[in-house]
Structure 1
Amino acid sequence: MRTSIATVCLSGSLTEKLDAAARAGFDGVEIFENDLLTSALSPEEVRDRCADLGLSVDLYQPVRDTEALPEEEFGHALRRVRHKFALSRRLGADTVLLCSSTAPSAVDDDDLAAAQLSRIADAAADFGVRVAYEALAWGRHVNTYDHAWDIVRSAGHPALGLCLDSFHILARDSDPKGIEDVPGEKIFFLQLADAPLPAMDVLQWSRHHRCFPGQGGFDVPRFLRHVLRAGYDGPLSLEVFNDVLRQADAVPAAVDARRSLLVLQEAVGVGELPAAVVPTGVAFAEVVTPDAAPVARTLRALGFARTARHHRKPVDLWEQGAARVLVNTEGAERRSGARLAAIGLESPDPTGAARRAEALLAPVLPRRRDPADVALDAVSAPDGTELFFCATGRAGLADWRDDFQDVPRGADASTAGEAADPEGAGASVDHLALTQPWHQFDEAVLFHRTVLGLHARQSVDVADPYGLLRSRAVSAPDGRVRIALTVGAAPVDDTVHAQHIAVATDDVIAAARRYLARGGRLLTIPGNYYDDLAARFDLADDVLALYRELGILYDRDAHGDFLHCYTETVGGLFFELLQRDGYEGYGAPNAPVRLAAQHAARPVG
């Protein structure tokens, strides 16, 4: 189906918004009134610009407060809408959105509303345009789609139809099944938006917190199925009012918007995409750093061994059990410190995973590859993290480890290979935490859920000493891949809002002791935490004393226990040691303590 996006969804000037929509592959746009009013382009120049970009102008919006008015007021409204219809023709749009009235003077009289809308439709027909009547969720008297349809049907004018907006319908918890009773030809336009499910005033909810389909809590696919069954065959258009999107870069926002429509079409069976290939594990985590020594010290203290080096790049492979970390010093900027730059994902079908990613507009990463290098498919996540689709140790498929050469034990101290800690043989990467740019959090969740086929948990807000940290985890159904996506409102502080690699172990107490014995330093946890822990859980005194001594944090859910501790932060990265005994979460109740402790431990000056 054709796709369209309202200019209100994107930031920037009207020209920048149109360019972004075209670059993302949209077929058309809705021109929002304020975007036109503030543009230096005339309506004709906007029309020509859209034509040059291959965009149709599908809707001009909105016209407000025009129906069910006292006659004198209606006369002024009719004069105003005639100007809007003329403007719409200059833009090249054949449909104008008219919202149900919120005017204090509007009266509760459906017959009057129908009669006045019929007169408005007469005027629209004079200009060769149609009127799409939309019930605002906060409309004074008309606030549901079925009420709007009753009025449109009563008016009986060929130039008057409905605009259906998923937000206005689902926000009022209306049953969209009744849409199937509306003739498809009377559904003049469809606007799609999702939203989280908070308890707040519906107007504020609408104006500030809408999001693209798949990013919120509404069942937008079910809504769309009913609209399609009614016979609607117009464009799928997005209308999203969102404070973050109004400040974000328009181009990636437009790409995210179109991705949401591609996945929505897949969900309702009107679009074809390569099937999702869910990753089955973490092949490696790659750390980029200008100075490998601090990261190497931490890894060595954790029990990792440097076992191999890339055959032509300054990249070392560190291993402990099934956990693998690459340390890369190529092209790192000193001011950025250590950062988690890439993830290798085990995939049952690396080529299929890459096809899915490319179809969903994920940037395919060009690689400067030596003929001897292993060919790996890779894409970029919204935050710039590189994702490699890997098949480690599987016959007939390229193995990324073939690019690495074992480091001989007898080499000099700077290049010698090391023996892995035999007591850490059960180690694995439990999860990875990626700090997102503030304006890409929802985009990141949609990307990981749709491109990688991961399941998204509910969003969690965690108290930070300087604001709130928002976190949402995505994971494979079997839990073998877990990624925690976070964004914070606190001041920029890489020692706190850093990325981290969580390493699972069979015995976190023993692992923490070995780490300390090798010279590692664990994050110091305030004593008050352990006093509270004693009140929350019935733990033996000696167990609490041990946790206090080592800086171990503890939590429990319906499935089991969770013990974890944290290393010091190196640049923008730290490590977590954890023991998961059936527990399904990520230790969110302990996150405020960890954040405060990291703030306290950050360097001063």
Structure 2
Amino acid sequence: MPNRPSIGSMSIGRPWVHGLPEKLKQAANYGFEGIELFYDDLDCLAHTHHGGCIVEAARHTRRICDSLHLEIVNIQPFSFYEGLLDRAEHERMITEKLSLWFLLVRILGTDVIQVPANFLQPDPVTGAPRTTGDINVIVSDLQLIADLGLKQSPPVRFAYESLCWSNHIDTWEKCWEVVQLVNRPNFGICLDTFNIAGRIYADPASPTGKTPNADREVKASISRLVAAIDPAKVYFVQVVDAERLSRPLVKGHDFYNDQQPSRMSWSRNARLFAFEEERGGYLPVIDIARGIAATGFEGWWSLELFSRTLADPTPSTLKEHARRGMDSYRKLERTLRLNEQSLAGQKQHRL
């Protein structure tokens, strides 16, 4: 598949501030070919237009996307699933939540569900952990949903993603290890430049904004990625940057939330599109993206941006973020020579 631009639906407005139909319109207006659909957007649309019926909201969304020639790359995030210590809750996730999501993917016309590595925080009353780092439990749980996905018609794929604040699987290396252990044809990985750099390069709670060995760690990690990753198992790639904060994200900072790891609070408030150094971007996202491209990956390059700027209710907010996103993608396309790589791969395949 040739390289194509998509945008996460959260990238162009929070669901309770900006409506999904207008987000989709602006994504199409600025040249995006696909979207990552955030479940909260569907839920908001269901409650504002369809009496709370998520199925009708999905049908509505599919009609809009078809009319705008937008492909739905995936629905996300299927959160807080693997490694739960509460096995009754695990069972509920399978019997209630996953069955609904299987219905939604059929209606939406996508075949990918994104699964972020579990970041469920400890019990707020007792402080006891609610997830296990036992790799055998994590793998078994993910094999279960993959096997159920294979039974769907058409089959459903799962894209597993490490977040830089996940409880146990917080690097792409750990994520890739899990993907290999799950060992199912419909279970792959999402590579995210922000989450890769956000764990080994950045530390928003530090006065420097960086980890002690940031540059060396990133260089080594990119080398491992190029050598290890099978591009056929990369279902999509997310490319965004983030702000270097003017002061450490600790208690007293505007973004501080005692219920969240600092990296999560930073992520929710301060992401940027790639090539926005003038806005404070400082992560080595282009180096990481270049490494991903070097694996031979061809597919969706998505721009999943969360930012406090999306809370601005003025209509121009959507247009401005969609414009910034496409400007970023075009620069990425030129820098990585994405179209040239795709064409070269097609010629080689024909030969």
Task: Tell me the TM-score normalised to structure 1 length.
Answer: 0.44
Shift in Å at residue 82 of structure 1?
Answer: 2.6
Is 1:196 paired with 2:196?
A: no
Tell whether the 8 Å contact from 1:5 to 1:28 is kept in structure 2 after alignment. Answer: yes
Shift in Å at residue 167 of structure 1?
Answer: 0.8
Shift in Å at residue 249 of structure 1?
Answer: 2.0
Shift in Å at residue 165 of structure 1?
Answer: 1.1
Residue 219 (structure 1) aligns with: 284
Give the aligned CA root-mean-square deviation in angstroms. Answer: 1.5
Q: Structure 2 matches for 1:145-544, cutoff 5 A?
A: 145-173=172-200, 174=218, 175-180=221-226, 181-198=228-245, 199-200=248-249, 201-215=262-276, 216-247=281-312, 249-271=317-339
Shift in Å at residue 69 of structure 1?
Answer: 2.1
Is 1:4 paired with 2:6?
A: yes
Residue 432 (structure 1) aligns with: none
Q: C-alpha deviations, 1:29-60, integer Å up to 9, x for none?
A: 11111111011262122112101101000010
Tell whether the 8 Å contact from 1:10 to 1:246 is kept in structure 2 after alignment. Answer: no
Tell whether the 8 Å contact from 2:5 to 2:34 is kept in structure 1 after alignment. Answer: yes
Q: C-alpha deviations, 1:544-575, integer Å up to 9, x for none?
A: xxxxxxxxxxxxxxxxxxxxxxxxxxxxxxxx
Residue 25 (structure 2) aligns with: 19
Residue 98 (structure 1) aligns with: 115
Shift in Å at residue 223 of structure 1?
Answer: 0.9
Q: Structure 2 matches for 1:139-150, cutoff 5 A?
A: 139-150=166-177
Report the Cα distance in structure 2 between the residues aligned to 1:85 and 1:146, rounded to whole angstroms: 28
AA in 1 matched with 2:179: V
Report the Cα distance in structure 2 between the residues aligned to 1:246 and 1:234, rounded to whole angstroms: 30
- Structure number with greater Rg is 1
Tell whether the 8 Å contact from 1:131 to 1:161 is kept in structure 2 after alignment. Answer: yes
AA in 2 matched with 1:191: Q
Shift in Å at residue 271 of structure 1?
Answer: 4.9
Shift in Å at residue 203 of structure 1?
Answer: 0.9
AA in 2 matched with 1:34: D
Q: Would you tell me which structure has more strand in proportion to its own residues?
A: 1
Residue 78 (structure 1) aligns with: 94
Q: C-alpha deviations, 1:365-401, integer Å up to 9, x for none?
A: xxxxxxxxxxxxxxxxxxxxxxxxxxxxxxxxxxxxx
Shift in Å at residue 245 of structure 1?
Answer: 2.9
Tell whether the 8 Å contact from 2:4 to 2:299 is kept in structure 1 after alignment. Answer: yes
Tell whether the 8 Å contact from 2:43 to 2:57 is kept in structure 1 after alignment. Answer: no
Is 1:55 paired with 2:116?
A: no
Q: C-alpha deviations, 1:445-483, integer Å up to 9, x for none?
A: xxxxxxxxxxxxxxxxxxxxxxxxxxxxxxxxxxxxxxx
Tell whether the 8 Å contact from 1:209 to 1:242 is kept in structure 2 after alignment. Answer: yes
AA in 2 matched with 1:46: T
Residue 347 (structure 2) aligns with: none
AA in 1 matched with 2:23: K
Report the Cα distance in structure 1 between the residues aligned to 2:318 and 2:35, rounded to whole angstroms: 14
Could you list the structure 1 runs, at least 4 aligned residues long, displaced by more than 6 angstroms after superposition: none
Q: C-alpha deviations, 1:507-548, integer Å up to 9, x for none?
A: xxxxxxxxxxxxxxxxxxxxxxxxxxxxxxxxxxxxxxxxxx
Q: Would you tell me which structure has more helix in proportion to its own residues?
A: 2
Structure 2 unaligned residues grouped into runs of 5+: 50-55, 121-128, 201-217, 250-261, 341-351
Residue 353 (structure 1) aligns with: none
- Ranked by relative contact order (alpha carbons within 8 Å, sequence separation 6 or more), the top structure is 2
Tell whether the 8 Å contact from 1:144 to 1:169 is kept in structure 2 after alignment. Answer: yes
Stretch deviating more after TM superposition (159-168 or 15-24)? 159-168
Residue 259 (structure 2) aligns with: none
Distance 1:270 1:143, change over 3 A: same
Q: C-alpha deviations, 1:296-323, integer Å up to 9, x for none?
A: xxxxxxxxxxxxxxxxxxxxxxxxxxxx
Q: C-alpha deviations, 1:559-601, integer Å up to 9, x for none?
A: xxxxxxxxxxxxxxxxxxxxxxxxxxxxxxxxxxxxxxxxxxx
Task: Tell me the TM-score normalised to structure 2 length.
Answer: 0.74
Report the Cα distance in structure 2 between the residues aligned to 1:53 and 1:179, rounded to whole angstroms: 36
Tell whether the 8 Å contact from 2:164 to 2:198 is kept in structure 1 after alignment. Answer: yes
SS at 2:244 equivalent: coil
Residue 416 (structure 1) aligns with: none
Using the aligned pairs only, state the percent identity.
Answer: 29
Tell whether the 8 Å contact from 2:7 to 2:27 is kept in structure 1 after alignment. Answer: yes
Residue 404 (structure 1) aligns with: none
SS at 2:37 equivalent: strand
SS at 2:272 equivalent: coil
SS at 1:197 equivalent: coil
Report the Cα distance in structure 1 between the residues aligned to 2:43 and 2:224, rounded to whole angstroms: 37
Tell whether the 8 Å contact from 2:9 to 2:36 is kept in structure 1 after alignment. Answer: yes
SS at 1:101 equivalent: coil
Tell whether the 8 Å contact from 2:119 to 2:167 is kept in structure 1 after alignment. Answer: yes
Report the Cα distance in structure 2 between the residues aligned to 1:230 and 1:191, rounded to whole angstroms: 15
Tell whether the 8 Å contact from 1:82 to 1:123 is kept in structure 2 after alignment. Answer: no
SS at 1:93 equivalent: coil
Q: C-alpha deviations, 1:214-270, integer Å up to 9, x for none?
A: 111112221111111222211110100001134252123201111101001111222
Report the Cα distance in structure 2 between the residues aligned to 1:179 and 1:188, rounded to whole angstroms: 15
